[in-house]
Amino acid sequence: MNDTRVIQWRPSAGRAEQLMLLFHGVGDRAEGLAPLAERLRQAFPQAVVMSPDGFAPADGGPHGARQWFSLQGVTEQNRPERVQAVLPALEAWVRAAQQASGVGPAATALVGFSQGAICALELAQAEDGLAGRVLAFAGRYATLPLHAPRHTTLHLFHGAEDPVIPVRYARVAMQRLAELQGDATIDIAEGVGHELPPALVDCAIHRLRTHIPHRTWAAALGAVPALAERGVED
């Protein structure tokens, strides 16, 4: 992979069965998602978990803080362009992580918080099937999709009192994905702001363990060829 600083955790024994890639919010670093990584490792002991630093220094943040794209002068009009600019490098990083771990796309989950969730959602939209799952905490689309991914399941998690990215963005995204017959879920926690509370992390683990993707049902019914790879849902 490139020279991006990455914190990673690997199974203590046996082969890797899942790959979980964690993308932090603006002004944070890879270790900021270490508590989330530990919970995922407990739930999925055969998973490789990687948390990279954002690719750029954070605007005006403390020394060492990182971001995925700049928020200086960001508007609804220019946000999509800024997100799109980072996607090629992020896609290359994901593919390198898959190669290094030996885990394929179907068993890969992109897990993002805030700005990291924006990037994860937009990357899955741009590269359908790059990952089997997206877990988007306190995020949003830069641009609402015109079509839904067919090989990626999207899980949205949001605090009802989020003052940074209001929960309406998650609700609107879920409505659009439902209209497009996308494979998506949403969990909203009352009394929660712009954060990663244990309750929503527990919801995410429950979704990973119990949600059977639409494409898996279709394959079982003979509508599409069965996927050869094991997914995160296994």
Q: What is the pLDDT of residue 204?
A: 97
Active-site entry in 28, 51, 101, 114? 114
**Banded pLDDT at 222 (limits 50, 70, 90):** low
Q: How many CB atoms lie within 10 A of CB 92?
A: 12
Q: 57 has which bridge partners? A: 66
Would you say residue 21 lies in a domain?
A: yes
Q: Is the pLDDT of residue 99 over 50?
A: yes
Active-site entry in 28, 53, 162, 183? 162
Q: Is the pLDDT of residue 217 over 80?
A: no
Would you say residue 60 lies in a domain?
A: yes
Would you say residue 226 lies in a domain?
A: no
Active-site entry in 59, 128, 194, 206? 194
Would you say residue 230 lies in a domain?
A: no
Spatial CA neighbour of 142 closest among 78, 79, 86, 77? 79
**Banded pLDDT at 220 (limits 50, 70, 90):** low
**Banded pLDDT at 229 (limits 50, 70, 90):** very low
Q: What is the pLDDT of residue 214?
A: 79
Would you say residue 225 lies in a domain?
A: no
Would you say residue 1 lies in a domain?
A: no
Domain of 95?
6-220
Q: Is the pLDDT of residue 28 over 80?
A: yes
Would you say residue 229 lies in a domain?
A: no
183: annotated active-site residue: no
How large a percentage of the chain has pLDDT more than 90? 86
pTM to 2 decimal places:
0.91
Q: What is the C-alpha to C-alpha distance for residues 30 and 22, in angstroms, rounded to an integer? A: 8
114: annotated active-site residue: yes
Would you say residue 227 lies in a domain?
A: no
162: annotated active-site residue: yes
The CATH number that applies at residue 174 is 3.40.50.1820
Q: What is the pLDDT of residue 3?
A: 74
How large a percentage of the chain has pLDDT more than 70? 91
Q: What is the pLDDT of residue 231?
A: 41
- 178 near 154, Cβ under 8 Å? no
Could you give the C-alpha distances from 47 to 88, 134, 140, 201, in angstroms and in order? 25, 15, 26, 16
Total domain count for the chain? 1
